[in-house]
Amino acid sequence: MSYTPAERRRVFLAYRTVFNGTNAHIRKIKKVREVVQSHNKSFEPLIRDLDFDKVVDVVKSLLDQSIFESELQAKITFPELFRSSPARDVQRSASEVDAARSEAEALEVLSSASEQGGAGMGDTVDDVPQSKLPLSDARSDRTLTIWTPSLYPSFLPYTTQHLILTTAQRQLEECCFDFAAKWLPSLLKEKKWECPEAAELIKWTRTLAKHSGKVPAGAIWKVSEAPLSEVFSSTNVLRHTAVHRLVTSARGIYKMIQSASRLANALGDSSRAAELEKLCLEMGSRIRDMELNKNFLENRLDEQLQAINKKREELDREEKEAIATMLSEDRENKSLAGSFLEAAVKNIFGRPESGPTSMVDGLRESDDVDEGNEHENDQEPEFSNGDIDAHIPADL
């Protein structure tokens, strides 16, 4: 079965996170078919476009070449996915920085409101700064000013973002409740918190941080060099983002889940920490896939723009030639019209070569004729004897 490089690349990007780990070592066609079939719904558009058997065949080919298990092999096979121009790198970095700054500004507003006791009281997504990302970025390496959209930073569908954050928030609230039930039962009784939902995440973390000195030394694990207060407060961002529906970049969400996993580890909840860490790994892999695809799309656009620019230069040259030809032919037509009109003037107002060449010459010749006639009149007529006799009357 034949398939194009574009089809191989598309299948690789789609199934890169499916055939990783132990799945990357699958070689039997039957097992490959089973794994592809198990994800049939997720990749329905791809399977509809290429056909199920063709997808299986491409996946088997990629597995045989160790492309799924080796990034080096992937770079050799699909260099366009990993290639990036300096201009694009600068553009992406600027987009990521702008996104992080916008998110930080929004979170600062929410944190201030929370400190004042107003968190959750009337704050909506419209009340906080939104992520102001450049929809396009100028290409500095082009002689023509062409604005191209930036595909960075990466964003998840909001429904996916909300599901991830609310799930992580619920997991942490349950984790905090279990920790308090084990080490601070009197605190739960005092505050009348009978379930994880009795308090929101920020209240849980602040309360546990405040009473951390009352638990045994080994109850809270040291999972990083960061102070314990920072481990507890780092999940505030997760809560604010989830509650206030703040659209956040995929990498921003990834960092939130990392913070959640670290807090679960610190509270000794290895089960939930492992689940959150697994989610982190899945997110990291998917974000990497998104970025590889973005790299390809941006590189393809750059190549298309270069081709368009060459065509534009050729069209500009043809345009100049067309204008020059028009002006040249117009000058020739002008000269031709002039020569015809000059000939017409000479033909209409001119005279034969034997005649007078001008009105003055004609007048002079007329005067000469008149003078000649006058001289002739002044001379006496000459008659012969016969003529005289003929004019003498007979009676004389």
Q: Which residues of 295-306 are buried (b: 16+ CB within 10 A; e: fewer)?
A: bbebbeebeebe
Residues with Cβ < 8 Å from 296, sequence gap 6 or more? 9, 13, 80, 81
**Where along the chain do its domains lie?**
5-81, 155-315
Model pLDDT for residues 319-377, shown as the tens digit of each residue? 999 999 999 999 999 999 999 999 999 999 986 555 555 444 554 555 555 555 555 55
Which pLDDT value is given to residue 361? 53
* Amino acid 379: pLDDT: 52
- Say what the pLDDT of residue 270 is: 94
Res 124: pLDDT: 44
User: By the 8 A CB rule, do 172 and 206 touch?
Assistant: no
- Read off the pLDDT of residues 69-127 as tens digits, 9 standing for 90 and up: 998 999 999 988 887 777 777 777 777 778 777 777 777 777 666 565 544 444 444 44
Please state, in angstroms and rounded to a whole number, the distance separating the CA atoms of residues 396 and 388: 13
Residue 172 and residue 261 in contact, taking contact as beta carbons nearer than 8 Å: no
Residues in the chain where the model's pLDDT stays below 70: 1, 111-146, 351-396
Specify the pLDDT at position 144. 45
Q: Look at residue 68 in the predicted model and tell me its pLDDT.
A: 93
What is the pLDDT at residue 253?
96
